[in-house]
């Protein structure tokens, strides 16, 4: 059965949250499982084209900075200014989420970002 846009977006958000909890508990294996799940959700959204990206962009306003930042990382090409603003805000945090946001900005600026290429 095909999941709805909303269900895929929720899968993405819930698995980002769960990955960060697992990492915080020192359980990298569990964290990796959740990473695979949110990557899978993103690939399904991406397969829907801009409609999927628009649905994911709702997470740029999520309450949790880890979810906002991860959505922003995946949406940099599609919604660059909004995503970059989220990443800049989150990058000020002195934790793993802030570090991830800084690394995403760095990869984008270096031209090494490839989470959602045009082709």
Reported as a single tens digit per residue, the pLDDT across 2-17 is: 689 999 999 999 999 9
Q: How confident is the model at residue 67 (pLDDT cuts 50, 70, 90)?
A: very high
**Which residues does 40 contact at the CB level (< 8 Å), separation at least 6?**
11
Per-residue model confidence as pLDDT tens digits over 76-111? 999 999 999 999 999 999 999 999 999 999 999 999
Average of per-residue pLDDT across 7-29: 96
Average of per-residue pLDDT across 59-78: 97
**The pLDDT of residue 8:** 97
Q: Which CATH architecture has domain 5-110?
A: Alpha Horseshoe (1.25)
Distance CA 34, CA 40 (A): 10
**CA-based nearest residue to 13, from 85, 79, 68:** 68
Instruction: Write down the mean pLDDT value for the chain.
Output: 94
Show me where the domains of the chain are located.
Answer: 5-110
Question: Taking CA 91 as the corner, what is the angle to CA 107 and CA 26, rounded to the nearest 5 degrees?
Answer: 90
Cβ-count burial of 104 within 10 angstroms (0-12 exposed, 13-18 middle, 19+ buried)?
buried
More confident residue, 104 or 1: 104
Neighbours of 117 (CB within 10 A): 8
**The pLDDT of residue 119:** 61
Distance CA 118, CA 69 (A): 21
């Amino acid at each position: 059965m095909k999941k709805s846009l909303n269900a895929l977006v929720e899968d993405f958000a819930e698995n980002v949250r769960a990955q960060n909890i697992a990492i915080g508990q020192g359980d990298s294996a569990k964290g990796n499982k959740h990473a695979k799940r949110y990557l899978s959700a993103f690939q399904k959204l991406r397969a829907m084209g801009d409609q999927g990206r628009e649905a994911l962009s709702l997470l740029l306003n999520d309450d949790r900075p880890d979810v906002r930042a991860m959505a922003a990382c995946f949406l940099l090409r599609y919604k660059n200014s909004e995503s970059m603003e989220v990443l800049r805000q989150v990058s000020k945090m002195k934790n793993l989420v802030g570090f991830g946001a800084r690394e995403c900005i760095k990869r984008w600026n270096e031209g090494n970002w490839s989470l959602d290429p045009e082709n």
